Structure 1
Amino acid sequence: MTQETSEAIKAVLVGLILLAALLGFASNVSSEDLEVGREVLGDKVLIVYLSRTQNTKAVADIIQEAVGGDSVALELETPYPEDYDAIVAQVDEENETGYLPPLKTEIENIDGYDTVFVGFPTWDMQMPPPMKSFLHENNLSGKRVIPFNTHGGYGVGSGFETVEMLCSESTILEGFSVKGGLERDGIYLSIEGERKDEVRSKVHDWLERIEIL
């Protein structure tokens, strides 16, 4: 089969899926078919995130519900300590020295993604070192990069600026930031229940604004 024939078949497939939806037969179209259509349209999505209190994960889940794609949580080769004061001291030292902690997570097929969502909490008013490790280790040049963030009430800090600096050859869209937990005060997962519904509405508004939905 030639490449031209393959592309023609894919185009017909997408047309049939869209036609079925327009005629009211969407209930007969499987989620797998819709995912094929999304990939054929050149919008293969990766959602990469770091989440300690699971608030950033909650936002990542909402994004995946809306746009599909693959979602990957970053893990370190040597996990951070559970004690809050200990992790604060370690992160402070890493930020001061520029140390990038090695990641256990590897994404071998990252070149195949067109759009990469990058999610992280605000630590010390900065992007956490593990996400810096990810952006240093993976070349996102030519891709559409979309940052999102959760914080304890003090905002994103310099996190989005760091995305722009480390992804200078990417197309960076407007980021999304929302209040999550505040581990220092013993407030952990806060984006759940009715609060998650509120955040979902804000995420959808943001995705529409940046023309992802």
Structure 2
Amino acid sequence: MKVKYIAWISSLILIVGMSCTSGEQPRVGDELPSDGASKKILIVYLSRTNNTKAVAEMIQAQMGGKLVALELANPYPADYRTTVDQVAQENASGFLPPLATKIDSIDQYDLIFLGFPTWGMQLPPPIKSFLAQYNLAGKTIAPFNTNAGYGIGSTFEQVKTLASRSVVLEGFSTRGGIERDGVLFVMEGGREVKVRGEVAAWLGKLRVK
């Protein structure tokens, strides 16, 4: 276990050194305290149709860490079109919806996996709320995304902008449901097996496995 832990630390330090986007080099040695790597991983996700949740659970199964679902103080309407219109208004006005979810002692986490669907080719407003609410300076963020086939839009770039004092790693994206067409949860059967393999390959590429 000691050898594996040292290798994990060495890999994360290498990632931090190579991937810093803020122009401010983190201090080597501050990445992980000595009380166990898995306790220092936080997996935060927003999921409307449970596809992003499924990916978050795949990450947790391979990495460990604490899994947290973002919930709103005032949830979005169940009706898809009403929610689309509300999100468009929030994006246009810059409104950040209040979160019901509270994360205690976020300072203890060093590596944050941040998951979300693509909404209107942007980050969902609740994810913007999370990035505005918590001080993530010096932390490493690994974004992951599900979408209806139109891709990530500006989501990963927005994470870099809104978390400019964090190290943002290469993100992961996969196709989820298409709520507009009534296609909701798809992470099952052969699709689930395929995505699980893609997640494992992504984690391996990040060298944090």
**TM-score, L = length of structure 2:** 0.83
Correspondence 1:1-213 to 2 at 5 A: 14-15=1-2, 39-41=35-37, 44-213=40-209
> Deviation at 1:40?
2.7
Note the alpha carbon deviations across 1:118-171, whole angstroms, 9 max, x for none. Answer: 000000000000000000001111111000000000001000001000111111
Q: Contact 1:46–1:69 at 8 Å: present in 2 too? A: yes
SS at match of 1:47: strand
In 1, the alpha carbon distance for the partners of 2:90 and 2:200 equals 35
Q: How many residues align?
A: 182
Identity of aligned residues (%): 54
| AA matched with 1:145 | I
Q: Contact 2:172–2:202 at 8 Å: present in 1 too? A: yes
In 1, the alpha carbon distance for the partners of 2:55 and 2:67 equals 11
**Unaligned stretches of 5+ residues in structure 2:** 6-32
Task: Kindly name which structure, 1 or 2, has the bigger radius of gyration based on alpha carbons.
Answer: 1
Q: Contact 1:43–1:115 at 8 Å: present in 2 too? A: no
* Bigger RCO of structures 1 and 2 (CA < 8 A, at least 6 apart): 2
In 1, the alpha carbon distance for the partners of 2:107 and 2:52 equals 24
In 1, the alpha carbon distance for the partners of 2:140 and 2:38 equals 12
SS at match of 2:129: helix
In 2, the alpha carbon distance for the partners of 1:210 and 1:141 equals 20
Change (3 A) 1:16 1:127: closer
In 2, the alpha carbon distance for the partners of 1:16 and 1:175 equals 28
SS at match of 1:40: coil
Larger helix proportion of the pair:
1
Q: Which runs of 4+ in 1 moved over 2 A?
A: 14-18, 37-43
Change (3 A) 1:187 1:41: closer
SS at match of 2:68: strand
> Deviation at 1:38?
8.5
In 2, the alpha carbon distance for the partners of 1:103 and 1:195 equals 31
| AA matched with 2:43 | I
> Deviation at 1:41?
4.5
